[in-house]
Amino acid sequence: MKQDEVNNIDLETLAGSFGVSPNLINHGTADLIAKTDLRFRPVVGVELENLILEVLHRIEADSQVVGAPERKERWQNGWSENLHELYSSGDENSSLVPKFIRPGAPIRWMQRYVRTEDPLFELNYVKILRSWFANQFFSEFENIYEFGCGTGFNLLEISKIFPQKKFFGSDFVEASVEIVRTLASKHKPIKAGQVFDMLRPDPSYEILANSAVFTFGAIEQLAGDIDPIFEFFLESKGELFLHIEPEADFYDQKNLFDHLAYKFQTKRGYSRGLSRKLRELESAGRLQIIDSRRLFFGSLFMEGYNLFVWKPRRSA
């Protein structure tokens, strides 16, 4: 690809990334793709060299420790900011967008850095991905649970797709739960928000029968301490589990762009051991992996969007 060459991510390309044929993309998602500006140009030459240098310097200087106790206060403050915006503006569309989705930044697509025509490209990709996986995997279930629901923007948008279903959100900080409770007061499908720590799952928290459960960038924050939540999931009544999470094992160490992401992700410890844990549990006969897939999309430093779908194997 040339520096000034403008490319477009179309329905066929996205369907291939999701692992399905284009004709299996539901009409709502297909319409969303059609009306979204998904044009981009590759980052090459001096611009690319400068970007790689910037990323290397940021990786070297990075000192954030995922899962550290002090991070709880940071998340409380972050979601409190979204909660304040929700109260003050009443605009759910803008106030619920997580601050870590940064408009206008270079992104990763198919193992390259690219710049997009639309500064909201990453957010719009999330909307398309969310529409697709909700329609693909959640349609048959009565109840939908999100663990680590943050601002609740996933719950809210999926509840618009399935207004007849019941939605439940939980998070380990009170500000997030307060957002969900606020949304529940305005949107009938959203039923409850509850404080829930995935590092120390509360066994009294009930996942109802006929339920699908998902996480979206939440397992990544457990810094590899994922045994407790998976034991909780396996002991629950949940029938299908879906995770949109980073996975360092997916990177190709022979590819420079992948190697940079691998260095950043492993230094912080995001989602450490996730795919390995799923394979171990499948080998032990405790679950069946439905899909485990790299989606080849991410932000400047790593690919935070990969797909894992599984269901428990339970004795009759």
pLDDT for 157-189, tens place per residue? 999 999 999 999 999 999 999 999 999 999 999
User: CB of 142 within 8 A of CB of 162?
Assistant: no
pLDDT score at 73: 83
Average pLDDT value over all residues in the chain: 93
- The helix (run of H) or strand (run of E) holding residue 244 is strand 240-244
Question: Is the pLDDT confidence value at 75 over 60?
Answer: yes
Question: What mean pLDDT comes out for the span 196-201?
Answer: 96
Angstrom distance (rounded) from CA 290 to CA 227: 20
What share of the chain has pLDDT > 90, as a percent?
A: 82
Angstrom distance (rounded) from CA 276 to CA 247: 10
Sign of CA dihedral 194, 148, 63, 116: negative
pLDDT score at 167: 97
Per-residue model confidence as pLDDT tens digits over 246-276: 999 999 999 999 999 999 999 998 988 999 9
Angstrom distance (rounded) from CA 64 to CA 275: 23
Q: Among all chains, which residue has been given the structure tokens 């939908």?
A: 144
pLDDT score at 29: 97
Question: Which domains does the chain carry?
Answer: 7-312 (3.40.50.150)
Per-residue model confidence as pLDDT tens digits over 89-130: 888 888 888 888 888 899 999 999 999 999 999 999 999 999
pLDDT score at 43: 96
Residue 181, burial from CB neighbour count under 10 angstroms (0-12, 13-18, 19+): middle
Label residue 314 by pLDDT band (50, 70, 90). confident
Question: What mean pLDDT comes out for the span 278-299?
Answer: 97
Residue 191, burial from CB neighbour count under 10 angstroms (0-12, 13-18, 19+): middle
Question: Is the pLDDT confidence value at 218 over 70?
Answer: yes
Query: Residues for the chain: how many in total?
Result: 316
Per-residue model confidence as pLDDT tens digits over 17-41: 999 999 999 999 999 999 999 999 9
Q: Which is nearest to 108 in space by CA: 249, 307, 304?
A: 304
Question: Is the pLDDT confidence value at 68 over 80?
Answer: no
Of 99-103, 237-241, 281-285, 288-292, minimum mean pLDDT range = 99-103
Question: Is the pLDDT confidence value at 47 over 80?
Answer: yes
